[in-house]
Amino acid sequence: MQFKQDQKQFVAYLRDSSAAKPAVPDERLAVYQDLLFNNVSGFIDSGYPVLKSLIPAERWYQLKRQFLADFRCSSPYFLHIAGQFLQFLQQSQAEPEPVFLLELAHYEWLELELSTRKTTTQPQLCTGIDGALALSELAEVQAYHYPVHRICAEFQPTEITATFLLLYRDVEDQVQFVELNSLSALLLQLLESQPGVQLAELVTQLAQYLPALEIHQIEAGARQLLLDFAAKAVVQTFHPA
């Protein structure tokens, strides 16, 4: 029991030097503290390169220190640290500064998550769209208030601009993105929520949002969009589990 208490105290001090100090020489404590922080810091830096470049170095350092001291990670895997850091940012009570901070962090995390996501099947190019369809397990449709894919040192938006993005991992295992309009985003969202749906049903559902267009016009547009996305292995032939 005493060993567990000592171990808990030791780890608490490594995370936050304001905690009760364990009976370990200062030199050894400093080595362990540096190792722990540098490991965690490295994973965060590599997961959020754009965000890191836009936030003053001292603030970025303090955010990582606060994360290590206060946030209780639910996963022991270093690969998951970037996702835990995103949760830490999202749960902060402070107003995000810059205003796009949370959305940019989510976008960068999603790129990393997609690059390492495990799936039951590899993406395959779909040769036709006249059967049951599904969105690839390696694709995500996202709506943001800011054009996160364009943010950099030279472009830091302050005004809200509705932005729809498709992020996906291609057949060469590279993460790509496509900027969508509201209609193409809606089409992919409908497909994502209904694995096994067919083109005719998608057209019927889209027609509810496009009363000014004839069914044949909607069908032609939807067919072309789906063919384009099938060529990127985003739209797949549906295979029931």
Q: What are 213-237's pLDDT values in tens digits? A: 999 999 999 999 999 999 999 999 8
Strand partners, 178: 166
Among candidate residues 53, 77, 94, the one where a domain is terminated? 94
Sign of the dihedral defined by the CA atoms of residues 145, 147, 151, 154, in that order: negative
Closest listed residue to residue 183, CA positions, set 206, 160, 213: 206
Residues 128 and 174 in one domain: yes
Confidence band for 37, pLDDT divided at 50, 70 and 90: confident
User: What is the band of 175 on the pLDDT scale with cuts at 50, 70, 90?
Assistant: very high
Q: List, for residues 5-34, the tens digit of each pLDDT value.
A: 545 544 554 555 555 455 555 666 665 677
Inside any domain, residue 113: no
Residue 3 banded pLDDT, cuts 50, 70, 90: very low
Amino acid identity of residue 82, one-letter, is A
Instruction: Please give the mean pLDDT across all residues of the chain.
Output: 86
Q: What is the pLDDT of residue 77?
A: 65
Alpha helices in 180-236 (DSSP H): 182-193, 199-207, 215-230
Residue 114 lies in a domain: no
What pTM value is reported for the model? 0.85
Q: What CATH number does residue 146 fall under?
A: 3.90.930.50
Kindly indicate the confidence band of residue 120, based on its pLDDT and cuts at 50, 70 and 90.
confident
Residues 134, 196 within the same domain: yes
pLDDT tens, residue by residue, 100-115: 999 999 999 999 999 9
Within-domain flag for 110: no
Same domain for 81 and 153, yes or no, is no
Residue 20 has a pLDDT of 47
What one-letter code names the amino acid at 12? A
Whether residue 131 is predicted with pLDDT greater than 50 in this model: the reply is yes
Task: State how many domains the chain has.
Answer: 2
Which one-letter DSSP state was computed for residue 55?
S
Walk across the sheet containing 163-169 and list its strands: 139-144, 163-169, 175-180
Rounded percentage of the chain residues whose pLDDT exceeds 90: 64
Q: DSSP readout, 116-152?
A: H---SS-----S--SS-EEE-TTEEEEEESS-GGG-B
Residues 176 and 73 in one domain: no
Q: Which of 57, 78, 94 corresponds to the end of one domain? A: 94
Which residues, 6+ apart, have CB-to-CB distance to 77 below 8 Å?
none
Please say if the pLDDT value at position 187 is more than 70. yes
Residue 27 domain boundaries: 1-94
Tokens of 68: 């290590």
The DSSP secondary-structure symbol of 93 reads S
147/88 same-domain check: no
Q: Domain ends where: 59, 94, 129? A: 94
